[in-house]
């Protein structure tokens, strides 16, 4: 059984803000008791599924970390784009990063040149 997407996003936040320490994350976002969060990562015996986070947990994470609630629930927002970019950048060499910056600057200059021609 695969972890639901919303639970994966919360796990990413625990990794990012508390270095995978659930107790620290719960303290940070003021979720009490901590089992409200930790239970999201264990399959329930009664139905064989992962539980979904309560609305209270989602609101608490969103407000305390200033995270777009759309990111938590649906995975859509500028924050989601930043997470993807951070993950991708972990594996890039310095030369790769430099090439990306150069490419972006060339695109900006091309766009400026196109605008000047109008």
Instruction: Answer whether residue 82 is part of any domain.
Output: no
Question: Residues 32-59: pLDDT tens digits?
Answer: 999 999 999 999 999 999 999 999 999 9
Pairwise pLDDT comparison (88 vs 6), residue with the higher score: 6
- Tell me the per-residue pLDDT of 59-118, one tens digit each, with 9 for 90 and over: 999 999 988 888 888 887 665 555 555 655 666 676 766 666 677 667 777 767 776 665
3 state SS of 15? helix
DSSP 39: G
What pTM value is reported for the model?
0.64
106 domain-assigned: no
Task: Assess if residue 87 is contained within a domain.
Answer: no
Residue 102 placed within a domain: no
Q: How far apart are CA 107 and CA 66, in angstroms?
A: 32
Q: Which domain holds residue 65?
A: 5-76
As for how many domains the chain has, the answer is 1
Domain annotation covers residue 57: yes
Asked whether residue 64 is domain-assigned, the answer is yes
């Amino acid at each position: 059984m695969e972890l639901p997407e919303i639970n994966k996003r919360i796990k990413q936040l625990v990794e990012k803000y508390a270095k995978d320490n659930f107790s620290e994350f719960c303290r940070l976002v003021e979720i009490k008791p901590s089992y409200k969060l930790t239970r999201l990562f264990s399959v329930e015996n009664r139905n064989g599924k992962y539980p979904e986070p309560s609305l209270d947990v989602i609101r608490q994470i969103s407000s305390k970390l200033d995270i777009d609630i759309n990111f938590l629930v649906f995975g859509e927002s500028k924050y989601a784009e930043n997470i993807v970019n951070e993950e991708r950048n972990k594996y890039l060499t310095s030369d790769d990063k430099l090439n990306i910056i150069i490419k972006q600057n060339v695109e900006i200059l091309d766009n400026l040149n196109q605008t000047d021609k109008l």
